[in-house]
Amino acid sequence: MLSLRLPIPSESVLASVMQRPPRFLNARNQTHLFCSPTLSEPKALQSSTPQATAADVVTREEEEELNDGTTPPEEELPEGLRRELMPKHVAVIMDGNGRWARQRGLPPGAGHRAGVESLKALVELCWRWEIRVLTVFAFSYDNWIRPKVEVEFLMSLFENVIQSELDKFAREGIRISVIGDWSRLPESLQALIRDAEEKTRKHSRLQLIVAVSYSGKYDVVQACKSIANKVKDGIVQVDDIDEGLIEQELETNCTEFPYPDLLIRTSGELRVSNFLLWQLAYTELFFAPDLWPDFGKDEFVEALVSFQERQRRYGGRK
């Protein structure tokens, strides 16, 4: 059930920064998803960012031409992948941003920015390869204990993402859903999330579910509380409680495909870290040694190939 690749020797820090190949499928369509240069960043997390060149600039007309409608350009799947065996729902624990930055002598913010580039590439791959749902673990409820300056930076980054990329998501038919305990999020971020969900709720090309301030245990507890209140109010009888009813009360009730087919965890850690605990009951797991900023197309293809080679028996025999 598990697929674990052995770590490869780490490359030179300078070489990895200077020689790392572009991660984008279309170099003309780089719009700095989750990484706008206008973001105000705390000094403790600041890092130098290369300025865009003339070759990176896309006119509004060109961008509209590239993203006209919700159907991406036809693209053959990489060798070894079969379209009929592609997962409908992929979940990702994006781990290793901090370690990636430390290895290069950079502040944590640089790692989060690099991780954003990997996420941008993954969203585009899922969009092109017709994966229906991508759920990413962006910020755990347990992450609130991290240094205040890092948490504030991440909250600002989330806000900037929604503000700068909402129109692009709309053009490409991407639906945005955010799951987790919103009570600790800044009010301005909560307002932006509500606006993004409303503006994209009818889109169906790809659903991007972002778990922010999320905990798998919290998810189950809030579902239990909701059902208990319905029992108390006479809406539901105790004998009516079953797996289907619990599923309807989980945070992932926002999607047609609440159970991930494949979970990918990066950075070599072999645990699910309180993520989608109920929903992962029969999910195929893939653990990659790469730190999240180093996880790209080749690594994603490897995870998908591994998934397609497995037999999913759900407790039975085949």
Which residues carry out catalysis?
95
Q: Which neighbouring-strand residues pair with 287?
A: 4, 265
Contact indicator for 125, 25 with CB cutoff of 8 Å:
yes
- Token pair in block for residue 213: 């301030």
The strand ranges marked E within 89-231 are: 89-93, 133-140, 174-179, 206-214
What are the φ/ψ torsions at residue 223 (nearest 5 degrees)? -65, -40
Contact 100, 290 (CB under 8 A): no
Helix (H) / strand (E) element for 262: namely strand 262-265
Q: What are 143's two structure tokens?
A: 């992450």
Cβ atoms of residues 189 and 159 within 8 Å: yes
- For residues 159 and 119, give the distance between their C-alpha atoms in angstroms, rounded to a whole number: 16
Query: In whole angstroms, what is the distance from residue 185 CA to residue 42 CA?
Result: 18
